[in-house]
Amino acid sequence: MPLWQFCRGLPKAELHVHLEGCLEPDFLLELARRNEVAVPWETAEQLREAYRFRDLGSFLDLYFAGCQVLCDQRDFYELTTAYLDRAHQDGVAHAELFFGPQTFIERGIPVGVQLEGILDAVADAGARTGISASLLVSAHRHRTDDDAFALLDSVGPWADRIAGFGMGGAEVGNPPEKFVRYFAELRRQGFKTCVHAGEEGPADYVRQAVELLGVDRVDHGITILDDEDLVREVAAAGTPLTVCPISNVRLRTVPSLSEHPLPRMLAAGLNVSLHSDDPAYFGSGLADTYTATAEGVGLDRGTLTELARNSVRASFLPHASRQALLSRIDAVAPADC
Ligand code: ADE
Ligand code: ZN
């Protein structure tokens, strides 16, 4: 069986994908027309030309510009539906979807319009294809912790339909320690938490994420390798790191896939899994991410199977659902894996 087919057929959990990063160029332009939002691109080709990023900051500029075309409940519904259908084709059995309401709240779009659109799509996609998905509300670290508290308040009515809380945005200069109070409150309220750390920021940001914020997962975390003591601590604790190799190359935090630190992370015993981050902007869904990473860094099918198992174990699903998914992986795993 070709590698791409193996990667697609492997049941996987997608734990690090931003819904806003799933806005494909054609759909972005369709929404711009439908909602009469002026955008500087006329064709999908022009838009793709703009997808040459220097760094995280240049990517975030375009990502937030793209968000301008999302306006009403139908838009959020269709965005989520299109992603979940593609993910299902990619062999994603379960997806935890980051979504950042602050972008839209500041434009006056009620949080209920956003979340109801997404949650309706999750329910309908589950009924149609069997894919399971849940929502991770993501705060922006370049805003204040008061803003994060206001976000937490505003999503309160949907709390029982939120699987956890995360945080993304411009990393350098906005360390995890800025949000100690916010994450303490999330934990006090019993929510699962994760935070982007160690993508562009230093290993110390990963240390702050685990020691000061006490998160359940770290998103990216690749710069942890600069701190050997921290690597040993995080490996011993088994804290999951959701690694996005294609994103790292496209945002130039890593020069090429063959130089990606994933093999060193695996060798150090870190609990890593593979994810796509912003598939529309980086041109790679989860199956392609597995395939390209396997080819780029040199992973065999047994290791890919173990990475898929890690993704399921690191998910915020209940124990029984995780076990059921692990059995599905066992059913397609190569002999002796
Ligand atoms: N939001 C969407 N993608 C992101 C990334 N790679 N890092 C930080 N915030 C993000
Ligand atoms: Zn991310």
Residue-level pLDDT at 129: 98
Could you tell me if the CB of 278 is within 6 A of ligand 1? yes
In terms of C-beta distances under 8 Å and separation of at least 24 residues, what long-range contacts does 103-106 make, across chains too? 103/20, 103/64, 103/67, 103/140, 104/67, 104/70, 105/151, 105/154
Of 305, 300, 243, the C-alpha closest to 271 is: 243
Domains of the chain: 3-315 (3.20.20.140)
State the Cα–Cα distance between residues 108 and 97, nearest whole angstrom: 22
Whether pTM exceeds 0.85: yes
Which ligand number lies closest to the CA of residue 171?
1
| Whole-number average pLDDT of the chain | 98
Encode pLDDT of 102-140 as tens digits: 999 999 999 999 999 999 999 999 999 999 999 999 999
The beta-strand segments (E) located in 189-326 are 194-197, 217-220, 240-243, 271-274
Six token digits for residue 87: 């993910």
Tokens representing 308?
């898929």
Q: Which ligand is nearest to the CA of 20?
A: 1
- Tens of pLDDT along 78-108? 999 999 999 999 999 999 999 999 999 999 9
- Among residues 24, 199, 200, 306, the one annotated as catalytic is 199
Distances (CA, A) of 49 to 44, 45, 121: 9, 6, 30
CA–centroid distance, residue 130 to ligand 1 (Å): 28
Mean pLDDT over 181-198 rounds to 98
Ligand 1 touching residue 141 (CB < 6 A) = no
The greatest distance separating any two alpha carbons of the chain, rounded to the nearest whole angstrom, comes to 56
**Which residue out of 59, 83, 244, 253 has the highest number of ligand 1 atoms within 8 Å of its CB and is therefore the one to mutate?**
59
C-alpha of residue 336 to centroid of ligand 2, in Å:
33
Nearest atom (ligand 1) to Cα of 247: 6
Cα-based distances in Å from 209 to 94, 102, 179, 183, 215: 25, 22, 10, 10, 6
Q: How remote is the CA of residue 233 from the centroid of ligand 2, in Å?
A: 23
Q: How far is the CA of 102 from the centre of ligand 2 (A)?
A: 16
Query: Is 200 an active-site residue?
Result: no
Backbone phi and psi for residue 17, each to the nearest 5 degrees, phi listed first: -145, 135
Among all bound ligands, the one having the nearest atom to the CA of 99 is 1
User: How far apart are alpha carbons 328 and 321 in whole angstroms?
Assistant: 11
% of the chain beyond a pLDDT of 70 = 100
